[in-house]
Amino acid sequence: MVRRGMSFRYIVISAAAAFLLMQNAQCASVVSYKGEVEYKKAPSQDWKRLEGVGLQLAGGDEVRTKRASTAEILMDSGSRVRLAPVSAFKLSGEDSEQTSMELTSGKLLAWVKKFSNKFHVKTPTVVCAVRGTEFSLDVDPQTANTQVDLFRGTLAVQDNLGNELMLQEGMRLSVTPEGLGAPQRISGALEGERQSGRDTLTREVGLAMSKEAVLAAAAEEIKLAEYQQGKSLIDVFGNRVQLEEYVMRPAPDQFKLVVLNKRESRLDYFFYKGTFNTTLPADLNLALKQVGGTPGTPAWYLTASQTGRSNTIDTVEENSWGGHPVDVNGNLDPDDNVTSYFDSSTDLFVPVTGTFYKTLFDNYSIKYNGTETYSWAPVTPNVQSYLSSAITATIFGGNANYNIEPSFPDGTYLHNRIRETYGTGDDFTQYDNYIIDNDGNTASLADFAGVTGGPQYKEALLKWNFQQVITSSFFGGRKIDLVVEPKILIQSGLVQ
């Protein structure tokens, strides 16, 4: 939860975002995915692995999913498509008049927004023209047969022979290279499959969700939790908070930390989702303890991460992608150097005399209510440091007057304030970080006096909680107020 400056760029240890991107998409884009997903940008013939949400798609671009993988694509019109595992998709084109796409194999679910532009989907044997409709297409790659299930609305279906019919709500149609079959009513079991597909879109805690949607999604995710904590406490302002935290695996190469804060009149929540270079081990702690860095080349490292904070109205979204391990003690950025680290195997802080590897990300973006205030991209791929020679930074409004001012308002290090100002300073974001006990009392330096070893450090942390309050000129006078109990961070390995 504590923001760490890296040459004035933020990498947060705190992840479909995806829902915020849905609200602010400027063209077709991949807004969430699980597992291994690849894409190909026209006219290139090279497939690349997707690392992070936000990939923008133009006419001719393709996306394909592997086994146990899914991807969701949002159109500028507000319509969206969800690709099932082992599916191949191509965006033919999208403008204010029409959205056209192809499904060459696999299955998709489509939710077409009412009163949007014309929406066409083509498979090897059928063309579907829709408006205000919810449907699925399933293409057999061996026979090219297409199965059309219409769950809501009406759907014009045309085969390759020029035959066309208007499929009605609740009906299924099979189309082969020989033409249209006879429509059949969808059974109750099939309707259950459809509802399961719809629910998947809201079962993952993300941004721009209502209180009810967040709680419903968390109830599903928590069933898969490997670590879980919860308690009631008083925050620094004297308000009672019901705290729930869990860590789970959305995909074999991903982990996700979710924190829920329920107060009498509000819900604040936070999530951090990381995608690793390979499948995570059975003992999640082995991989997560390497997130902060390791003196040797890591077996597991982040290739992408998402973090989100929200009060169900306002949002803070951070995305990092293009992650790769770098010996930060061997690069040219002194801000990245590591002189000591905590070795969990010995419960001691160990001096670093040689190499120390951390994950550096080629790309980074932070947004407040959808407004990007800072981002970077590599000058060349595989950056080795965050020096200005290695990255190209983009600042809010293109204004160079971007300042970060740390301070300690109460004179101790246990209430830390970080204030960002943009341009003339009228636009700002402020982070107030506290360490509090379960009764809302702030810690003092004396509470941590004499803490020098690993066991002492962990024992001391377990007596306290972290609270972060975010205010911003983008929030209209509101705040995001989050409390985290360190215990789950220690259990999972995120804090060593």
User: What order do you get walking across the sheet with 254-263 strand by strand?
Assistant: 227-234, 240-248, 254-263, 266-276, 302-310, 315-327, 357-368, 371-378, 391-395
pLDDT of 56 > 80? The answer is: yes
Query: What's the pLDDT at 199?
Result: 45
d(C-alpha 342, C-alpha 461), whole Å:
15
Query: pLDDT digits over 179-212, tens only?
Result: 999 998 876 544 445 444 444 444 688 887 788 8
HSE-CB at 419 with a 13 A cutoff on CA atoms is 11
d(C-alpha 388, C-alpha 380), whole Å:
12
SS3 30: strand
Confidence of residue 400 (pLDDT cuts 50, 70, 90): low
Average pLDDT on 254-265 reads: 93
Q: Worst-scoring range by mean pLDDT, 3-17, 36-50, 220-234?
A: 3-17
> What predicted TM-score, i.e. pTM, was given to this entire model?
0.61
pLDDT of 268 > 90? The answer is: yes
User: Higher-confidence residue: 376 or 331?
Assistant: 376
Percent of the chain with pLDDT over 90: 34
Query: What's the pLDDT at 346?
Result: 67
Residue pointed to by tokens 């309707």: 191
SS3 190: helix
d(C-alpha 407, C-alpha 418), whole Å:
7
Query: What's the pLDDT at 131?
Result: 64
Query: What's the pLDDT at 40?
Result: 94
Query: What's the pLDDT at 246?
Result: 93
Rg (C-alpha) for the chain, rounded Å, is 24
Instruction: Residue 242: name the closest of 258, 225, 264, 222 by CA.
Output: 264
Average pLDDT on 463-482 reads: 93
Q: Name all domains of the chain by residue range, CATH numbers in brackets.
A: 3-13+208-492 (no CATH), 23-200 (2.60.120.1440)
Average pLDDT on 327-340 reads: 78
Query: pLDDT digits over 64-96, tens only?
Result: 999 878 888 888 777 888 898 899 999 987 666
Q: Worst-scoring range by mean pLDDT, 119-133, 343-357, 376-390, 433-447?
A: 343-357
Q: What percent of the residues of the chain are helix, what percent strand, and what percent coil, each to the nearest 5?
A: 15, 45, 40
- Please give the mean pLDDT across all residues of the chain: 81
Confidence of residue 12 (pLDDT cuts 50, 70, 90): very low
SS3 199: helix
Query: What's the pLDDT at 163?
Result: 92
User: Higher-confidence residue: 414 or 214?
Assistant: 214
DSSP string, 82-146: EEPSS-EEEEEEE-SSEEEEEEEEEEEEEEPPTT-SEEEEE-SSEEEEESS-EEEEEE-TTT--E
288, 493 contact by CB (below 8 A): yes
